[in-house]
Amino acid sequence: MMITLDYLQKKKIKFFPLTSLGLKGYAYPKEDALTIIEELRKNNIPIIGGKVLVLVDNKIEYPKGYDNWFCDRLQNESWFDFVQRSCDISFQYVNRYSINNAFPFFRKGKIGLFKISYIEKPEEYIDISSKVNKVLAQWNPIGVPLDIADSEYTEYVPYIIDAIGDIKEVTNCLLSILRNIGVGKEVFNNLDITKIAFQLNDLANHQIISKIKES
């Protein structure tokens, strides 16, 4: 089941193209995103992650800071269980947003949108998340103990995965990570960003990335 333009129009699902952000696929308002999640579940398709975006004056923007989710297949997990668990996680993540809750970027005329990434077949799934996380943990720009580093940078992994294949975008992601964690300028200048960016981008050259579909 490909989520195509014809499919969205036929189902009367409201959607917003993401070309202005340089991304493939579409983003959806909350209720439409929940519909997409249940459609994927019904068709036995797992969700490997998604992004939260905002619509302000008809312009799609990233919220301040990172807001995303992702879901890897567990070891020895059946395809059916992976589908159910990933769709449950995605539904709960999207559903927690409401006009009356404490998410400030949903206020003052801003509308929350959700981008959803999925894969269609078991043979298309290859776990790249752990590989990206390993590179970030080894890089470890804030110098946390090694036993902590493995979990310190996981929230940035989906952004790196989306950027892989474009060395400029991977580099921008790394720079955004440094800004987000508050790395000082003196440290910032001493980090070999280019080397890490090429190391991450090289994952694409070895063809280990899942055939991700962007809904």
Buried b (16+ CB within 10 A) or exposed e, 83-101: bebbbebbbebbeebeeee
Q: Is the pLDDT of residue 46 over 90?
A: yes
Residues 119 and 133 in one domain: no
- Of the candidates 105, 103, 37, 96, the one whose C-alpha atom is nearest the C-alpha of residue 71 is 37
Together in a domain, 157 and 115: no
Query: What is the SS3 assignment for 78?
Result: coil
Chain position carrying tokens 């696929």? 25
Which CATH number is 84's domain given? 3.30.190.30
Task: Measure the CA–CA gap between 203 and 215, rounded to whole angstroms.
Answer: 23
Question: Half-sphere exposure of residue 58, counting CA atoms within 13 Å on the CB side?
Answer: 0
**Of the residues 97, 124, 151, the one at which a domain ends:** 124
Say yes or no: 118 and 138 in one domain. Answer: no
**Based on the domain organization, do 13 and 74 belong to the same domain?**
yes
Same domain, 107 and 71: yes
* Structural domain ending residue among the three candidates 76, 101, 124: 124
CA–chain centroid gap for 214, Å, is 10
Domain assignment of residue 20, yes or no: yes
- The answer to the question of residue 148 being in a domain is yes
If asked whether residues 12 and 60 sit together in one domain, one would say yes
Range of the domain at 38: 5-124
Q: Are residues 95 and 135 in the same domain?
A: no
The pLDDT tens digits for 111-140 are 789 999 888 877 766 667 788 889 999 999
List pLDDT tens digits, range 138-168.
Answer: 999 888 898 888 888 888 887 787 777 778 8
Judge contact between 113 and 29, C-beta under 8 A: yes
Q: Compute the average pLDDT of residues 18-46.
A: 90
The predicted structure's pLDDT at residue 126: 65
Neighbours of 56 (CB within 10 A): 12
Q: What are the residues whose beta carbons fall under 8 Å from the beta carbon of 7, sequence distance 6 or more?
A: 1
Regarding whether 70 and 55 lie in a shared domain, the answer is yes
Mean pLDDT of the chain: 81
% residues pLDDT > 90 (the chain) = 24
pTM, whole model, 2 decimals? Answer: 0.63
Q: Which of 40-54, 63-77, 125-139 has the highest mean pLDDT?
A: 40-54
Shared-domain flag, residues 54 and 95:
yes
214 within some domain: no
Considering the domain architecture, whether residues 82 and 114 belong to the same structural domain is answered as: yes
Structural domain ending residue among the three candidates 102, 124, 146: 124
